[in-house]
């Protein structure tokens, strides 16, 4: 029994030393983002607040097509644009740009005038988000984070095995008067045992969003194929001039007249359809997952994918995203998300500190025995 416990301890220790510190840093970054993002919006009203608020009307008042043309000319047709209409009458209109320059352009929804722009890694919050979501390594970092998140399950299981008390109910007491090392040891064990499962939810949902193949895997397990966007049909006759962006969005709005537009995704390639994401009333995702695919040449609707009719892997995002960010439960869940991040970081820091102190103690003990033997 003791040898088995020793094995569990070794697995827990070396897995934590190998990848646990990455989880700790990413967890702390997530906790900081919970607080920093609303502060960032408050501190930079020139980006996030419309110069001419639209009152109760949350839709942009200026036509979108001149804005698209202006940005398309600036980036020489080599960038894709994602328009994010204001969520309320006080917000600015965002355009996420991906191309020679990647970042967000903030516009006044009433006049179309630019209020400012920031690169995707410009500023503290953007840089921290890039690290938290992908270790600043794009798709490679997302895959690494997904694998590291899987290792947390082993850390959780081995930690629970090491903590599991012989007598129930277990003691949840922390010894505060027996030195810092004992206090941190108790906090490390109890934090992992009591909050470990709650932290696992944040870790698992973060991994799911970071690495898209996980959604495909879930759909395959459910015996379903991942839905793909439709392709553009061949036209019998050459198409005329491109249709205005507002005319392309109109069919999606007519299909769901009571649903606001979450995003309008305009691809850089002319051979790809335009996607309008709608926020239906029963969709828990704050940006909406219902998609209407539009032929940019003719304005014809190529396909409609309602959020609750998506394949299981994609449909799960409607709950996983707001659960991970805390939007699903408002301030209460956001507080829990913050606590999860602090707990994950605390487990990593206390575990590393305890390992270092014990290593230093063993090293000092060996030196003392060596000196004693030499003095004989």
**Based on the structure, what is the number of domains in the chain?**
2
CB burial of 109-129 (b: ≥16 within 10 Å; e: otherwise) equals bbebeebeebebeeeebbebb
Please give the residue range of the domain that contains residue 269: 245-325
SS3 category, 29? helix
**DSSP letter string over 194-249?**
HHHHHHHHHHHHHHHHH-THHHHHHHHHTT-PPP-PPPPPPPSS---SPPPHHHHH
CA dist., res. 155 & res. 11, Å (int): 8
Domain presence at residue 305: yes
Same-domain check for residues 338 and 355: yes
Same-domain check for residues 303 and 353: no
Same-domain check for residues 342 and 266: no
Domain presence at residue 94: no
CB atoms within 10 A of CB 18: 11
pTM, rounded to two decimals: 0.87
CA dist., res. 244 & res. 299, Å (int): 9
Domain presence at residue 73: no
Which residue stretches of the chain are H helix?
Answer: 2-15, 21-43, 45-48, 64-74, 124-134, 138-163, 180-210, 213-221, 245-255, 312-315, 317-325, 330-374
Same-domain check for residues 348 and 308: no
β partners of residue 294:
274, 301
Closest C-alpha to 290, from 308, 272, 274, 311: 308
Domain presence at residue 217: no
Domain presence at residue 85: no
Domain presence at residue 40: yes
For residues 340 and 199, is the Cβ–Cβ distance under 8 A?
yes
Q: Is the dihedral of CA 320, 322, 328, 334 positive or negative?
A: positive
Question: Could you read off the pLDDT tens digit of each residue along the chain, which spans 376 residues?
Answer: 567 778 878 888 888 888 888 999 999 999 999 999 999 999 999 999 999 876 544 445 799 999 999 999 999 999 999 999 999 889 999 999 999 999 999 999 999 999 999 999 999 999 999 999 999 888 899 899 888 888 888 888 888 888 887 777 777 777 788 888 888 888 888 888 888 989 999 999 999 988 888 899 999 999 998 889 999 998 866 667 779 999 999 999 999 999 999 999 999 988 899 999 999 999 999 999 999 999 999 999 999 999 999 999 999 999 999 999 998 888 999 999 999 999 999 999 998 988 888 887 777 666 666 666 666 5
Domain presence at residue 23: yes
Q: What is the dihedral of CA 173, 177, 183, 189, to 10 degrees?
A: -20
Sheet-wide strand order for 93-98: 114-119, 103-107, 93-98, 80-84, 261-266, 274-278, 290-294, 301-305
Same-domain check for residues 168 and 315: no
């Amino acid at each position: 029994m003791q040898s088995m416990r020793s094995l569990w301890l070794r697995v827990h220790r070396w897995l934590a030393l190998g990848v646990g510190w990455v989880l700790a840093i990413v967890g702390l970054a997530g906790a900081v983002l919970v607080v920093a993002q609303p502060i960032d919006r408050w501190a930079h009203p020139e980006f996030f607040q419309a110069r001419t608020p639209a009152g109760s009307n949350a839709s942009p008042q200026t036509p979108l097509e001149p804005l698209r043309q202006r940005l398309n000319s600036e980036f020489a047709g080599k960038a894709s644009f994602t328009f994010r209409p204001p969520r309320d009458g006080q917000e600015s209109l965002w355009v996420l740009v991906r191309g020679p320059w990647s970042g967000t352009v903030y516009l006044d929804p009433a006049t179309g005038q630019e209020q400012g722009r920031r690169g995707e890694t410009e500023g503290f919050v953007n840089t921290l988000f890039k690290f938290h979501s992908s270790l600043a390594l794009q798709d490679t970092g997302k895959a690494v984070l997904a694998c590291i998140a899987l290792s947390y399950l082993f850390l959780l299981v081995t930690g629970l095995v090491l903590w599991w008390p012989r007598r129930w109910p277990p003691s949840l007491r922390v010894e505060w008067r027996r030195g810092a090392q004992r206090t941190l040891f108790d906090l490390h064990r109890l934090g992992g045992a009591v909050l470990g499962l709650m932290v696992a939810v944040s870790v698992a949902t973060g991994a799911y969003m970071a690495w898209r193949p996980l959604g495909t895997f879930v759909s395959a397990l459910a015996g379903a194929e991942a839905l793909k966007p439709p392709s553009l049909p061949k036209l019998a006759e050459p198409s005329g001039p491109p249709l205005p962006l507002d005319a392309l969005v109109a069919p999606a709005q007519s299909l769901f007249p009571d649903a606001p537009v979450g995003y309008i995704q305009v691809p850089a390639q002319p051979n790809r359809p335009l996607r309008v994401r709608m926020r239906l009333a029963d969709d828990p995702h704050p940006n909406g997952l219902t998609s209407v695919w539009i032929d940019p040449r003719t304005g014809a609707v190529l396909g409609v994918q309602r959020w609750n009719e998506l394949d299981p892997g994609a449909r799960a995002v409607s709950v996983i995203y707001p659960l991970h960010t805390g939007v699903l439960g408002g301030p209460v869940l956001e507080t829990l998300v913050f606590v999860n991040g602090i707990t994950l970081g605390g487990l990593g820091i206390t575990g590393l500190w305890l390992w270092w102190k014990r290593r230093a103690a063993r090293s000092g003990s060996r030196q003392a025995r060596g000196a004693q033997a030499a003095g004989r």
